[in-house]
Structure 1
Amino acid sequence: MPLFILKRLRDSVIALVLATVLVFLGVRALPGDIATAMAGEEGSPEQLAAIRDRFGLDEPVYVQYFHWISNMARGDMGASIRTGQPVSDLLSTALPATAELAVLSLVLALLIGIPLGAMAAVRRGRAVDHVSNGFSLVGLSIPNFWFGLVLILILSIGLGWLPSSGYRSFAEDPGANLLRMVMPAMVLGIGVAAVLARQMQASMIESLSTDYVRTARAKGLREPSVIVGHALRNSLITAVTIIGLQLGALISGAAVTEKIFVIPGLGKLAVDSVFQRDYPVIQGVVLVSAAGYIIVNFAVDALYSVLNPRIRVAGGAR
């Protein structure tokens, strides 16, 4: 197991290094000139030259990358062009809101997706099976922005049950925080629940037809024990994969939802930074999102090795 984890850790480090290269080159491939964005359209040639000299923009790209990654290693992510605030401060302020939204969305998805998919597999052809299929189809088809607007119209404007937008930190006011996170969590969580329900159903159907499940039934085990202790446990490996992929996607892909509900998270910060051409902030947001995705997938691989020893042995043998 340690060898398997070390190999996955090595792969994660390589992926993170490649991510830094892609982020650095991607930001410099954006339309417009960084020096012009910092000086403004009215900036004089002398101002542009001074900015390029100050930030090393006149140096070769590989030298710029080396300086940037060296500063990153020391915790210096630069400063915002627009506000002058350190990028690390902006990220540390925005990350908790995005992390909370991702966790709440995932909890909602788990509470809906796993039970619904499992019951649909056990009761194939019955009402719960049709409900699960319909839910998966609708959940995968509805765009997040449309679903968010519908929830605001119904739950906020129509019924007045929930605030339509805004954010209060959990530490400041837990009740107000959770009320304001209900609709955003629903917007993101329903789509994940739809994916989870569909994959769980397929995995459970496959597990229920395996030899070890038939053997367990032949030994006289009660049906709930067979379903929960054998079929469901094996199917949770599939669920772990989906959860890891979706959690990474939630962390890096909540921009639209955060913008609709005015949540000051990484997604909203990224969108605002793109429109403002705030390149240092864009770099920081994308890199943190990529790092979060890589870390989550490393954790999933580690959990995989616990749930399925065959994967651990196969991974360590390579």
Structure 2
Amino acid sequence: MADDEVATKAPESDAQQAPTGPEAQSVFPGDTKAQEGASMGEHCTTDRPTPSGEVPTGELSKLGGVECYIAKPSDYPHSPSKLLLLLTGGTGVKSTNNQLQADKYASEGFLVVMPDQFEGDPAPNSVDMTKIEQETSWLESVKLKTAEGIKSFMIDMWLARHTPEKVLPILHKVIEGAKDEFADAVANGGGIYGVGYCFGAKYILILAGLTPNPASWGQPATQDVEQAAVKKEPAIRAGAVAHGTMVTKEELEAIQAPVYIAAVKDDPLFPEDEVLTPGRRALEKNSVEHEIQVFEGVPHGFAVLGDYDDPKIKQSQVQAFDQMIGWIKGH
């Protein structure tokens, strides 16, 4: 492998390596290749090294009964602030890097609310075989032990626990709680702003669209629920996201609020032909203000705060943050 290939390869890029042989087949009956391509990568389960000497300054608190990391500007509440909802990748609210990322947005004048969208169940970054043996049948245990892609299997199981039907009601509780707790910041910004990375990017894009009534989330498709699922205004005023995972073109087509999207060239977790390009066309057709920046030569997950040796990745990470914060400030 050439030196430049080594320089850009990071744990986040593991998911971009196309599997071959038995491990290319999903252990879930009926799964398709496209569904496997929409799974999560190492970027969402393992933090990069934390920048030296940096320590989070926010605090953990609850909004709407949901644990959140709250980062405030140093002069708040003496000076006006705007409220920013930050949604993370699978490493979640307890990740030091995610907390530092929230602090960075707070230093730019935003009151940042970063919720635990996983209810204390962040994405798995290791496999405890003893626990697996205790909690699964003999046949399932054999299947797990013999699967080449055991970590992928565990992540798929985790994803099945954290679907829009589970995550969106949590976010709704946090949004309503923030409107009560930080009404001044919401009013000052004329609404709530949102930024999201990886897993969280999908949900910022959903919140930027015409979302259904929260009462209908996760409910059977009865006539009453269909009547309750009346379209309403986007939950956020403007959004900025980086390298989303599991985003669908339908979610991009539903967007109504201004959005900035940082994508990675040839990213199988956010495919250009199947998702990004149709989404861009829909945004243009619907006259939705948007900007899409495609970064080349960087791994999926590059914009999440964390240390890299490669100066190109470092530079792109800074550029993505500057563009995301610039977009939010401009709206």
TM-score of the pair, normalised by structure 1: 0.27
For normalisation by structure 2, the TM-score amounts to: 0.26
Structure with greater helix share of residues: 1
- Which has the larger share of strand? 2
Which structure's relative contact order is higher, taking Cα pairs within 8 Å and 6+ residues apart? Answer: 1
